[in-house]
Amino acid sequence: MAIVDLDRDAVKSGLADGSVLLIDVREPNEFAGGHIPGSVSFPLSAFDVERLQALIAADGRRPVLSCAAGVRSARALQYLQSQGVPLAEHYAGGFKDWANAGEAIE
- Note whether 76 and 46 are within 8 A (CB): no
pTM of the model: 0.96
Catalytic site positions: 67
What is residue 16's predicted lDDT score, i.e. its pLDDT?
97
What's the farthest any 2 CA atoms get from each other in the chain? 37
Q: What one-character-per-residue DSSP string does 1-43 give?
A: ---EEE-HHHHHHHHHTT-EEEEE-S-HHHHHT---TT-EE--
Range of the domain at 16: 4-101
Residue 106 lies in a domain: no
The count of domains in the chain is 1
Output the domain CATH number for residue 23: 3.40.250.10
Q: What is the pLDDT of residues 36-62, one digit of tens each?
A: 999 999 999 998 999 999 999 999 999
Residue 21 lies in a domain: yes
